[in-house]
Structure formats: C-alpha cells, structure tokens
C-alpha cells in the first residue's frame, strides 16, 4: 500500500512544491524524495514507488486531473468502440519515461536490504475511471457498457493489459524487484464478470511480464473479492495476494496461503486508533500466518489522519516478532 502521503509533514512540504498531483508523479526528483521519506522514518523492509494507477490512461492520451475535494477526473470518457480510437497505446510507454527515471533513482538510492516494489492498476479498475470519468461507488457506467457492448469493452481491456504489462516490464528494467497490481474495484464484479474482467486480464499481464522476467515476484490485490480471493490466488499466477480488511484470517490462511504469500490486512483505522486494540490485532494477524509466506501490511491505504507515532509503534511490534 502507498507509504507516503498526507500523514507525513515532509510529504506535505514536497507536495506544495510540486504543482499538481500528476506533476509530482512525473517529477523524478520529487517522486524519489517522497518515496524515500517513509523509509527514512520507519525503516520498512520494502519501499513502494510513489506514483498513481491513473498514469496509464494519462499516458494513453486521456486527460487526467486531480481536483480538490473531488478526486480524479478523466476526459473525454470512453463509452464506445469509436472512443477507443482516441487512445495512443503506441506512445504510452515513452510518455511514462519520468516514472522509470524515478525507479532508477530509487534503485540506486535505497538501502540494499530494502526491496523496491513497482506497481500498476489492474485493467478493470483503471477501466472504471476511463469509462466513468471519475471514481464511483458501484462502477455502474462501466458495468453497463461491459454488459451492453462486451466486444468494445474487451478492446479497452486488451489495450490496458498490453500497456500495463509493458509498463511493468519497463519498471523491472529500471530496477523494480517486486510488482504489485491493484484492482481496487474488483469487488463490484459478479461471479462471471469477475472471471472475465479481473482474473483473466491479471493472468494475461502476469504471463506477459513473466515472458521477459520469469522470476519476478508479483502481488495481486483484488479488493473486495470475498470468496473469490481463492480463485484469484489459484488462477492468476501471482506469487502473493493482498487481502482487504473484510477477509477472515482463517479463510486466508486455509485457502490463499497454501497457494501463495498472503499480504495484509490490518484495518487502517486501527492504525489511527492505536493502543491495545491495534497491538492485539497485529499479534493475531502475525500468529495466524506465522506458518507460511506472509507480508505484514494494511488492508488498504494509510489514511491522512494517521498519527506518526502509531506507525512507529506498529513497525516496532512487527519487527520485534521477526527478531
């Protein structure tokens, strides 16, 4: 999950210098700095590239803006096969050059024992923004188009699969040691659509990346997938699965961990509250997964109101168990 953000005063200072949020993502020096800030403070075992999942539609030629109190706004929206002609996948990787420079900077700047994680948004989630024009609670516009014109929607997904795979390969070229795919809105898909628009595209991306880098570890995060987490773990080819806060620990231990590493899943609001409730849940998570491959993490992103001393206490507790 994203480590940098508004809970860190040093991040807020850099953010003010950058201009727009995308300016920050595309400024290698500034993006490098905010990626390194949490590592300096907390000594995490891994560092995740500071960027955003929506650099892909931006690179494809769809205008992306981040508006105060609204969030991302994309235009013009994609709602037909004709709209797809506006996209420029042949230019996308070149336009993402600043991101790869950030990865190169980090590869040479991070301590040798800190793993560098690159990432991208999974096709379904990225498509929901491209079709809806902004975030939504139920991704209704995208689901309706996928039902009404599945062939056209498939074209968009295929474009995103190929572009995302090339983007991730280029991150590994630049020095990323692990990759993560975020499918934030996977939970809005019914069973058959989950297979078609979540599992199948992620499996294709994994296949394309592994064609060049067979040994690269890949983590998938199909947030909200519920019982379908098990299918995702078995059928996409990922090495690890991030679980959200709703996933029962025993379910993850018994159905996901036998197939791959589990990553998760402390509630970010428990990190905000801190105290005994947090430490007890951290201990329970660690104990549940201690017999298999496991990465301790939150079940979603760190929130702006998180006290810094709570993060430090969490890191001390986890590292104490490891030690």
Q: Are 115 and 47 within 8 A, CB to CB?
A: yes
DSSP string covering 279-291, please?
HHHHHHHHHHTTT
111 three-class SS: coil
Residue 272 structure tokens = 């905000």
Q: Are 306 and 274 within 8 A, CB to CB?
A: no
Distance between CA atoms of 80 and 282, rounded to whole angstroms? Answer: 47
First to last CA, the chain: 23
94 three-class SS: helix
Residues in contact with 67: Cβ distance below 8 Å, sequence separation at least 6, in sequence order: 73
Sign of CA dihedral 149, 141, 234, 161: positive
Distance between CA atoms of 36 and 110, rounded to whole angstroms? Answer: 7
Q: Are 183 and 160 within 8 A, CB to CB?
A: no
Q: What is the largest CA-CA distance in the chain?
A: 57
| 129 carries an active-site annotation | yes
Sign of CA dihedral 226, 247, 50, 233: negative
Distance between CA atoms of 237 and 320, rounded to whole angstroms? Answer: 32
- Can you give the C-alpha Rg of the chain in angstroms? 19
Give the number of other Cβ atoms within 10 Å of residue 70's Cβ.
Answer: 10
| 86 carries an active-site annotation | no
Give helix 150-174 / helix 140-148 axis angle, nearest 10°: 120
| 2 carries an active-site annotation | yes
Could you say which of 26, 52, 143, 244 is catalytic? 52
Could you say which of 7, 11, 26, 129 is catalytic? 129
Give the number of other Cβ atoms within 10 Å of residue 24's Cβ.
Answer: 22
Catalytic residues: 2, 6, 15, 52, 129
């Amino acid at each position: 999950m994203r480590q940098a953000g508004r809970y860190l005063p040093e991040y807020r200072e850099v953010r003010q210098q950058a201009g727009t949020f995308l300016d920050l993502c595309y400024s290698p020096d500034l993006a490098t700095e905010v990626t390194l800030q949490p590592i300096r403070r907390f000594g995490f075992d891994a560092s995740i590239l500071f960027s955003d999942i929506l650099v892909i539609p931006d690179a494809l030629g769809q205008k992306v803006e981040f508006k105060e109190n609204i969030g991302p706004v994309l235009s013009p929206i994609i709602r037909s096969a004709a709209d797809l002609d506006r996209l420029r996948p042949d230019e996308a990787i070149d336009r993402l050059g600043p991101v790869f420079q950030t990865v190169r900077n980090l590869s040479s700047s991070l301590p040798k024992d800190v793993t560098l994680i690159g990432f991208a948004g999974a096709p379904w989630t990225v498509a929901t923004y491209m079709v809806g024009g902004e975030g939504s609670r139920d991704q209704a516009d995208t689901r309706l188009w996928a039902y009404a014109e599945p062939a056209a929607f498939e074209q968009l997904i295929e474009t995103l699969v190929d572009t995302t795979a090339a983007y991730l390969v280029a991150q590994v070229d630049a020095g990323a040691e692990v990759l993560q795919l975020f499918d934030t809105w996977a939970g809005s898909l019914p069973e058959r659509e989950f297979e078609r628009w979540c599992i199948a595209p992620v499996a294709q991306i994994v296949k394309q990346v592994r064609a060049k880098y067979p040994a690269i570890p890949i983590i998938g995060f199909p947030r909200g997938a519920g019982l379908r987490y098990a299918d995702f773990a078995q059928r996409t080819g990922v090495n690890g699965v991030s679980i959200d806060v709703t996933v029962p620990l025993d379910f993850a231990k018994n159905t996901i961990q036998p197939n791959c590493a589990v990553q998760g899943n402390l509630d970010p609001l428990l990190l905000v509250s801190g105290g005994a409730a947090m430490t007890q849940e951290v201990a329970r998570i660690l104990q549940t997964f201690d017999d298999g491959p496991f990465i301790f993490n939150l079940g979603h992103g760190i929130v702006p109101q998180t006290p810094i001393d709570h993060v430090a206490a969490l890191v001390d507790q986890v590292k104490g168990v490891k030690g």
